Amino acid sequence: MKPALSLVIPVYNEEAHIATSITTVRRILDAANISHQFILVDDGSRDGTWAALQSLAITMTGIRAYKLSRNFGKEAALCAGLEQVDTDLALVMDSDLQHPPELIPAMVAKMQEGYDVVEGIKSDRGHEGQMYKLGARAFYSSFMRLTGFDLRDASDFKLMNRRVINAWRQLPERDTFFRGMAAWVGFKRYAMPFQVARRVEGVSKWSPVKLSRLFISAISSFSSLPLQIITILGAIFFFSSLLLAIWTLYMKFAGTALSGFTTVILLQLIIGSAIMFGLGTIGLYLARIYDEIKARPRYLIEQSAASTVSTPGTASPIF
Ligand code: UDP
Ligand code: MG
């Protein structure tokens, strides 16, 4: 008997609490009679996470674990998990219980009202630092302005049905941004607010470098507006240079043309930096094209483990 729901969970260096976190989620789902399986993706952890996942697969039912060959990043780990989904419903959530598992039964119930996606919306960004909150706000407002997709308070806590997963699978890009792609596919969506809980243990696995990489990849994979901004910038420079040319020629013929050294230096600096900024932006997109055209796999699976009994016997399916 196939379970109804797959829980896709990326796991990176979460050895200390992963077993208790999984047990907590299971208890809630069993109480709600939702037949389910866990698809746990170890994103190349350097601690004992993989050993912990393997022993989970031995001691518990309904566990499927995959170990990526190195740290590919959360986005790639999510892809790895979602591609393994063989159930009618899939829920993506974090392993640190910041996405409250108590909400899952309500999300599943919403789904039965005919929605295709039930997405968790952060009603409160929880205990993030001021700098992080500011950065997140700047990111989402520029993302919305550039791409037209409003991802403010969006999270990766999403329940999707088969239709949406299949649609998502058709997106071929190598460099993925799950939150954006899940919005892009559309379908009938329900927004469910939730409070971001405190991390059960440890610290956030996102370094500033990783976050800025995600920022650049998210923007450049959803919008080519930065490229058009270069053209607009060029147009502005062109028209101001016309004005300046008229003025310079007038000064020349009037015989008062020697001053203006500061203007020349300033113009050189401004135009020079504008050109470099423009080239850099073109380079960014070129690099993306290069990465996509190489068509390397999004991730590599080194090892996998699965419970021998793949369906929990206790819960009867609700579908
Ligand atoms: N994660 C991952 N690979 C990474 C970084 C994070 O698979 O390179 C996982 C991590 O184990 C957790 C989820 O992504 O399940 C969210 O990470 P974290 O809690 O560190 O991020 P935050 O909650 O601060 O956004
Ligand atoms: Mg977290």
What's the pLDDT tens digit per position in 205-244?
777 788 788 888 888 888 888 888 888 888 888 888 888 8
The half-sphere exposure of 21 on its side-chain side, counting CA atoms within 13 A, is 26
What pLDDT, on the 0 to 100 scale, is given for residue 251?
A: 80
77 lines ligand 1 (CB under 6 A): yes
Q: Is the CB of 94 under 6 A from ligand 1?
A: yes
Tokens of 80: 């790895």
Which ligand 1 atom minimizes the distance to the CA of 205?
20
Environment class of residue 277 by beta-carbon count within 10 Å: exposed (0-12), middle (13-18) or buried (19+)? Answer: middle
| Residue range 277-306, pLDDT digits in tens | 888 888 888 888 888 888 889 999 998 888
Residue 126: pLDDT over 50: yes
Give the total residue count for the chain.
319
Query: What is the CA(203)–ligand 1 centre distance, in A?
Result: 9
Is the Cβ–Cβ distance between 13 and 45 less than 8 Å?
yes
Angle ∠(6,7,11) on CA atoms, nearest 5: 140
Taking residues 69-76, report their average pLDDT: 91
Cα-to-centroid distance, 204 and ligand 2 (Å): 6
Looking at residue 135, its pLDDT comes to 80
**Does position 65 have pLDDT exceeding 90, yes or no?**
yes
State whether residue 187 is helix, strand or coil: coil
- Compute and round to an integer the Cα radius of gyration of the chain: 25
From the list 130, 135, 180, the residue with the least C-alpha distance to 155 is 180
Q: How far apart are CA 6 and CA 160, in angstroms?
A: 10
Q: Is the CB of 202 under 6 A from ligand 1?
A: no
Place of tokens 């047990």: 23
Q: How far is the CA of 44 from the centre of ligand 1 (A)?
A: 12
